[in-house]
Structure formats: structure tokens, C-alpha cells
Amino acid sequence: MRKSRDANPFKKMPNILYPDEIMDKAYNRAEKIAGDLRTTERGLSLPKSRIIEDNKIRTTSSVISDNLLQIVEKTPSIDHLDPFYREILEIMVGSDEFKKSLAAINWAADLVKKLGMQYSRKVKKAPTPQATSIVRKEFIGRVASILKQIYPNMAFLGVARNKLKNMPTVKDLPSVVIAGYPNVGKSTLLKTLTNAEPEVNSYPFTTKGLNIGYTEEGIQIIDTPGVLDRPIYERNDIELHAVVAINYLSDMILFVIDPTEFCGFTIEEQVNLLNEVKRTFKVPILVAMTKMDVDEIEGLETLENELKGFDKIKISSLKKEGITDLKVRITEILDEQGLLSLLNDIE
């Protein structure tokens, strides 16, 4: 079944305030309410002090716990994240720390709420007007120390939010991911297939960004410079997560091979990468043998033998040969997976 990829789920994360800012917000609200009460309640009696301080405590408690809870509620939970975004999260900020920070903020929200109730009861029993204000100050002190404790978590989420919220969205359309060694002709092919300059969307896992184009039929073609263009063993941890993220994006792989070896990589190296991509990805692979306009390609026969088990097609992006056949084959492969009905639904 097709996985649905929503718009960037991190966009909804609220602005994360510093502890001081939250305390100020709570203080201002509490003071405003206290001010209103001071004008309505006459004299500095014990009952009046209790009411005022109780209101300050409860207002502070609810402003702070609501603010913290809002962070937790509007931040997507890792367990429900689309797998593509889960990988992005791991690459950009680290999921463990993210989870830990959210749990800490949830804990603090809960504790501030409980303390608010506890101190509200306490202030109602305070024996003198001075005692009511001491109880309230004690409450504020405890809340401030909780906020100080979760400050690293808040700061972490603030940074995470800023990194994640501006990430471009990859559309939830049938998607073809282009793979192959550098210089084999991937971006030229992308342009030929989509008849337009591709959008370049910057993603954290590739310094060059993802190049994305759309065919007339509404198929999304994604070129992934720096991600699927060399053997897995040469990759670091982050790049491996990037491969996994790309895996979640793709409904099929279009693997480009340059049989002329003008790209600087031998046919053997290119076939090895193809086999590696085949082992890594569970989606259908179509091999495009490109640069067919070049005369007398020496290794062509060998290559065709090597590619016996693969679905393959010969093309020239330069001369626009084989492009229509390639498009037809792509459409068939996506259609076999029931993905094109999705396009009709969208239209």
C-alpha cells in the first residue's frame, strides 16, 4: 500500500520561549489579574491576600504548563512520523535527544500543574497576609528551578524547530529517484524528462540539494546528487540515513549507466553500484543506458550481458532518443504498482 507523505510535519512546532520569557509571560498575566482583584477587593485583609496570591499561583501555573504542553502537543511524535521525516529528524538533530527533550518538557508541564494545585491549597491556609506572599514566592522559586532544569531541552527543541520547519516538502506524488555515478548524465536526463529547470531543494543530507522535476503526467522525478552516486561502504552514518530517507521517497529507481565510461567510472564499477542499489532498495529498478549517440561504444555488449536480469532501455538525452520509450516504461512500472490511479484521484 502507498505510504502517504504529508506536508512537513515540523512546520506546526510553536516558537520555543526561553525560561525567562515564559516566566515573564506568566508574571505579567498574574500581575494583571492581581491588579484587577486589588481594585475590586477592599483593604489588605487576610482573605483578600489569599485570593490575590492564590490567583497569582494558579495563573502562573496554568500559563507555564499550557505553554509547555503546547510544545509537546504541536511537535510531531516520533512514533507517528512518516518514515521519511523520521530519517530526516535523525540526520538533522538526532531522534533520541528529540524524544528525551519532549519527555522532559512534558514532565515539567505536569509538575508545574501539580505544584500549582498544591500551593493553591497551601496559600488558602496561610495564617497572615505576609505568609500568603511567602507561599507564592516559594512556588515561583520552585517553578523557576524546574524551568532552569529543562532549559537544555527547550534550547535543543528550539534549534531543532528552526532547522526542521523550513525544510522543503517533497510532494506526495508517484516518485522516480535517479541514481548512478557522477557525470553519467543524471541531471541532463532529469531535464529531458521534465522539460524544465528542476527545483533545487536543499536537504540536510546533501550539500548539493535534491533536484526535483515533474513530468507532464505529474510524475515526480528526483535527482539525488551526493546520495546515490557511490558505494555504500564509502558512506558515513549520516549518508546512510540519507539513503534510507531516499528509500522512503522512491516508488522506483531509474539507474543511469554511462557505457561510454566518459563519466570516469568503468562499466564494472557502475554495475557494482547498480547491484548494491538493488540490494538496498525494495522498489523496481529501471536501467537507462545513456549517451547512445556516441559512436562505437566499446563495452556495450559486455554491459548488456551484465544487465541480463534487469529491466533496461537505451537512450540519448542529447539527441532525445529513447526518451518516449523511457517515459512509457516508467509509467508502466508505476502503473503496475497501482500508483497512477493516485494521480487521477488528484486531478
Ligand X SMILES: Nc1nc2c(ncn2[C@@H]2O[C@H](COP(=O)(O)OP(=O)(O)OP(=O)(O)O)[C@@H](O)[C@H]2O)c(=O)[nH]1
User: Binding residues for ligand X, per CB under 6 A?
Assistant: 182-188, 225, 229, 290-291, 293-294, 316-318
Nearest distance in Å: CB 291, ligand X:
4
Fill in the DSSP letter of residue 294: S
The beta-carbon contacts of 51-57 under 8 Å, at least 24 apart in sequence, are: 52/132, 53/123, 53/126, 53/132, 53/133, 53/135, 53/136, 54/120, 54/123, 54/124, 54/132, 55/30, 56/30, 56/31, 56/136, 57/30, 57/116, 57/119, 57/120, 57/123, 57/135, 57/136, 57/139
Nearest distance in Å: CB 237, ligand X:
22
Position 63: which residue type? Answer: V
Residue 293: Cβ-neighbour burial (10 angstroms; 0-12, 13-18, 19+) = middle
Nearest distance in Å: CB 322, ligand X:
9
Q: Residue 230 has which C-alpha cell?
A: 557511490
Residue with cell 528542476: 198
Residue 289: Cβ-neighbour burial (10 angstroms; 0-12, 13-18, 19+) = buried
Nearer to ligand X among residue 33 and residue 232 (C-beta): 232
Nearest distance in Å: CB 293, ligand X:
5
Nearest distance in Å: CB 229, ligand X:
6
Nearer to ligand X among residue 183 and residue 331 (C-beta): 183
Nearest distance in Å: CB 100, ligand X:
38
Nearer to ligand X among residue 51 and residue 179 (C-beta): 179
In whole angstroms, give the CA distance from residue 310 to residue 300.
15
Nearer to ligand X among residue 188 and residue 201 (C-beta): 188
Nearer to ligand X among residue 160 and residue 210 (C-beta): 210
Residue nearest ligand X, Cβ-based: 185
Nearer to ligand X among residue 75 and residue 270 (C-beta): 270
In whole angstroms, give the CA distance from residue 181 to residue 266.
10
Nearest distance in Å: CB 3, ligand X:
27
Torsion of CA 222, 335, 330, 2, to 10 degrees: 20
In whole angstroms, give the CA distance from residue 259 to residue 269.
11
Nearest distance in Å: CB 333, ligand X:
21
Nearest distance in Å: CB 321, ligand X:
8
User: Do 292 and 321 touch, CB atoms closer than 8 A?
Assistant: yes
Q: Residue 256 has which C-alpha cell?
A: 543511469
In whole angstroms, give the CA distance from residue 191 to residue 199.
11
Nearer to ligand X among residue 318 and residue 342 (C-beta): 318
Position 31: which residue type? Answer: E
Q: Residue 204 has which C-alpha cell?
A: 540536510
Nearer to ligand X among residue 168 and residue 225 (C-beta): 225
Nearer to ligand X among residue 65 and residue 250 (C-beta): 250
